[in-house]
Amino acid sequence: MARGSGSYDVPVELALLGAAAVILIVAAAWSSRWLGIATPLILVAVGGALSYLPGAPEIPLEPEWILVLVLPPLLYSAAVNVPLIDFRRNLTPIAGLGILAVIVSALVTGAVLYWLIPDLGFPAALALGAVISPTDAVAATSIAKRLGLPHRLVTVLEGESLINDASALVLLKTAIAAIGGTLSLWGAVGHFGWAVAGGLLVGGALGLVSVWVRSRVTDELLGTALSFIVPFLAYLGAEQLGGSGVIAVVVAGLTIGHQSARRFTARSRLSERMNWRTIQFMLENGVFLLMGYQLHIHLAAVVADYGTEGLWWTLGVGLLMVGVLLVARVAFVAPMLGWMRLRDRRSLERGERLLAKGDAWRERAGEWGPRGPERVDRVLRRRGADLEFLRREGLGWRGGAVLASAGMRGVVTVAAVQALPASVPYRSELILIAVVVAIVTLALGGLTLPIVIRALGLQPADAAALETERDELIEEIKAVTLDALRNPTLVDGAEPFDDKVIEQVGREAAALGRAVEEQFAPADDPAHDQLRRLRALVLEAQRAALLDARATGAYSSLTISAIQAVLDAEELRGARRDGH
């Protein structure tokens, strides 16, 4: 376990190492705020320095630990917090960067590596290309959020990191199968296609089943505990069927995150959100710390196999791969943005023609059943909101420059490269190349991305516009609230609500969460039960109005999330008032 002598038993030593890692991670996160350096960069540097201390213990890193135990919860915690409406509206750039860019980068870097090392064989070169192609959004988004990058760019970076891990790992598995000579070209295409389809099916099915089960578990502690097994079930289930476990985890997380506002209690959502944020923080930063700590092992392995000259040659190839990746990303982003601008203009034209025929569609909607007009109106409202989003937040050249600059690699690159078979030639060199790519892109992006963002003068969403939008949504919810108060539904045939109770709950609902001073009646007073039931009724109406607004896409996810948090807080306050 240890490079130097030690008097601790292995479990004690591991416990001490774990405690030290937590302290270092928290200290790095705290210091990054005033140093202006992304936390992952600090942790890589600290880990590298610690690894050379006398007596520093060896920490074996099995790739399965990362791919099976770390990657699924990391992806799930990110996916479950991504608003589905943002994902849908940005699907084109997310899919372009997360799928096509990964394939292009893998082919280009694989071809260059094969040209440099012909003895390697193209399948093995392509495998390394797949490993170093996916970006890691942790450092990029931490910088972007700190500097106030527009919300759409943050969404694209986060969405890209969710998808590109799946693309890279599926491509890696296909390349490894080809190394063994067991896969033809069409077999590789079929293997890739089934991996994607299997991941989608398993993830979607497990997400729906999880929502159904957890909606029937009223204890938020038990519900959160159940959520801990979802990423592992999704990953292992899809892998057993030959599908992509990473895709399954992402789809399950998106499904559960979208359904949680409708199917879970506020307390469950808040409890789960905090727990998963903590897990995500510790896992992703722990891997960066371990990445720096493992660097000396990869350097020593190359020196042992190829000597000092081989080490310098390998480091040079790693730097060359960094340059090739940067050029490939810029070359991909530029035409993608041009195509998107053309596509957005056409979408605006088609959408405006559709909205112009809105009255005609509404007239015909009555022929499609009693809910026909409501459904048509929702579709038209959603389409109108999408068009407004395109006008307001189109991706221009400045946004493209940020996307091109945010090509940092991280967790998946370091873990996946160690999955290369032992029979692959120059394996230790390939591992070091991948580690160099991860560390250099992380350092380069972490230092240059803030400069790029400041130089371009990008600004976050206008605070006044968000406040106006928030006020508009509150007015919509108030209108629905008034309707609920005018026609309060009785529960189990109970006596009608007292006028004073209706007036009091109306004041609370209009405030949407502001504390209203009140004196409760004794617990055995019938008015107390009426107060509780009417509050629940009004809150349900408010939540239904918020979900309807989210479904139409008329408001940004930032506004929806802000109102959701207020309603959740009000539900929790009501539960505490009623002694639950």
**Which amino acid does the sequence have at 29?**
A
Distance CA 121, CA 550 (A): 51
Question: pLDDT at position 494, please?
Answer: 64
The domain boundary residue, chosen from 456, 486, 501: 456
pLDDT at 20 over 50: yes
255 and 404 belong to one structural domain: yes
Tell me what the mean pLDDT of segment 321-336 comes to: 92
Distance CA 562, CA 546 (A): 11
Instruction: Provide the CATH number for the domain around residue 425.
Output: 1.20.1530.20
364 and 500 belong to one structural domain: no
542 and 438 belong to one structural domain: no
Q: Does residue 518 form part of some domain? A: yes
Query: Cα–chain-centroid distance for residue 535?
Result: 34
Q: Does residue 154 form part of some domain? A: yes
Question: pLDDT at position 324, please?
Answer: 95
Distance CA 268, CA 259 (A): 13
Tell me what the mean pLDDT of segment 186-208 comes to: 83
434 and 552 belong to one structural domain: no
The domain boundary residue, chosen from 329, 360, 386: 386
Q: Does residue 5 form part of some domain? A: no
Indicate the pLDDT class of residue 293, thresholds 50, 70 and 90. confident
Question: pLDDT at position 2, please?
Answer: 46
- 54/10: higher pLDDT: 54
166 and 75 belong to one structural domain: yes
Tell me what the mean pLDDT of segment 238-247 comes to: 88
380 and 400 belong to one structural domain: no
pLDDT tens digits, 436-462 = 998 898 888 878 888 888 888 777 666
Question: pLDDT at position 528, please?
Answer: 64
Q: Does residue 507 form part of some domain? A: yes
**DSSP SS3 for 2:** strand
215 and 115 belong to one structural domain: yes
277 and 368 belong to one structural domain: no
Question: pLDDT at position 462, please?
Answer: 61
| Category of 395 on φ-ψ map: left (φ > 0), alpha (ψ -120 to 50) or beta | beta
Question: pLDDT at position 400, please?
Answer: 84
pLDDT at 111 over 90: yes
468 and 452 belong to one structural domain: no
Q: Does residue 1 form part of some domain? A: no
For residue 47, give both structure tokens: 């880990």
Contact 200, 250 (CB under 8 A): no
481 and 419 belong to one structural domain: no
Distance CA 471, CA 467 (A): 6
Question: pLDDT at position 322, please?
Answer: 94
- 73/489: higher pLDDT: 73
The domain boundary residue, chosen from 456, 471, 491: 456
Q: Does residue 2 form part of some domain? A: no
Question: pLDDT at position 573, please?
Answer: 67
pLDDT at 228 over 80: yes
Give the total number of structural domains in the chain.
3
Domain of residue 353, residue span? 345-386
Residue count (the chain): 580
pLDDT at 203 over 90: yes
Question: pLDDT at position 366, please?
Answer: 61
Q: Does residue 141 form part of some domain? A: yes
450 and 467 belong to one structural domain: no
Q: Phi then psi for 2, rounded to 5 degrees?
A: -115, 145
**DSSP SS3 for 456:** helix
For residue 68, give both structure tokens: 């099976």
Q: Does residue 401 form part of some domain? A: yes
pLDDT at 519 over 50: no
Give the dihedral of Cα atoms 287, 291, 297, 303; nearest 10 deg: 150
Question: pLDDT at position 132, please?
Answer: 92
Name, of 1-10, 137-146, 283-292, the range with top average pLDDT. Answer: 283-292
300 and 328 belong to one structural domain: yes
